[in-house]
Amino acid sequence: MVASCNYESEKATRIYAAEERRCRGAEGRAPRLLSPSAPQQFRIMSRALVLLSGGVDSAAALAWTCQNYSEVVAITFQYHLRPFRERLAVYRLLQVFRAPLIEVPTNFLREVADLPEPLNTIVPEGYIPNRNMIFYSIACYYAETRACETIVGGHIGNDSEAFPDASKHFLHQLAQLANQALLTRKIKIELPLEKMTKAEVMKNAQAWGVPFESTWSCYWDGSHPCGKCISCIERAEGFAAIGIRDPLLSCP
């Protein structure tokens, strides 16, 4: 997208650097106990690598992973003109759900709206060709080198309608292919939100302690979400469904 970079001012860059330092300081710490009064019972005693974009869905996936795995590592991809606020959201979420972060520079990846020569075919807003094949292939590399048995993605029920590479079928096949190449461990890809609607994701995210004010869903940058892109519209529908106001609409 031809995103406005005005928001990434000198002041914003300083904020970003401070958030990054705080996040880096969290490396190696155990995930936050969501209920400090009760001992956490992990469903699986193993390490998971969770893809984290900074949006509500991936934040819910992160929260779910911290509740179900004894060790959690987050991975995020810094593609061309990624909104500053989205990257900031990753750092802020990891201050709550403490986990080390792998940040992968993928500046060669551009949304089709940002290509020097536009495609002649209409594609969904935010489309990056072969995005999940690339993201999950890189995640497989880190899963093996960081001893993670599972990769967790925050794709929800209707994601695959617009993006076929977000479907369970596609990612299952990707894991099968990757496992032919990985020598020291077999990995699986888990999609805890794949049967949920946006409203169900929002409801669970609230129950799992996701700080909505620390997420960013908009395709664009700015002090507030644009309210017009498809991601903003879906987010608004989710908040309406659970009957609360999006804190980003009132935050300064």
Q: How near is the Cβ of 245 to Zn ion at its closest, in Å? A: 16
* Beta pairing partners, 105: 78
- Buried b or exposed e, range 84-105, using 16+ CB within 10 angstroms: bbbbbbbbbbbebbbbbbbbee
DSSP 8-class letter at 103:
E
232 forms part of the interface with Zn ion (CB under 5 A): yes
Distance from C-alpha of 127 to C-alpha of 131, rounded to nearest angstrom: 8
Residue 91 amino acid letter: Y
| Phi-psi sector, 131: left (phi>0), alpha (psi -120 to 50), beta | alpha
218 forms part of the interface with Zn ion (CB under 5 A): yes
Instruction: Using the minimum distance from each CB to Zn ion, give the nearer residue, 123 or 182.
Output: 123
Q: What phi and psi values does residue 141 have, to the nearest 5 degrees? A: -60, -50
Q: How near is the Cβ of 246 to Zn ion at its closest, in Å? A: 11
Q: How near is the Cβ of 58 to Zn ion at its closest, in Å? A: 16
- Which of the ranges 73-81, 87-95, 115-123, 214-222 carries the binding residues for Zn ion, by CB under 5 A? 214-222
| Identified binder of Zn ion from the candidate list 115, 177, 181, 226, rule CB under 5 A | 226
- Which of the ranges 68-76, 180-188, 192-200, 223-231 carries the binding residues for Zn ion, by CB under 5 A? 223-231
Q: How near is the Cβ of 11 to Zn ion at its closest, in Å? A: 22
229 forms part of the interface with Zn ion (CB under 5 A): yes
**Site residues (vs Zn ion, CB under 5 A):** 218, 225-226, 229, 232
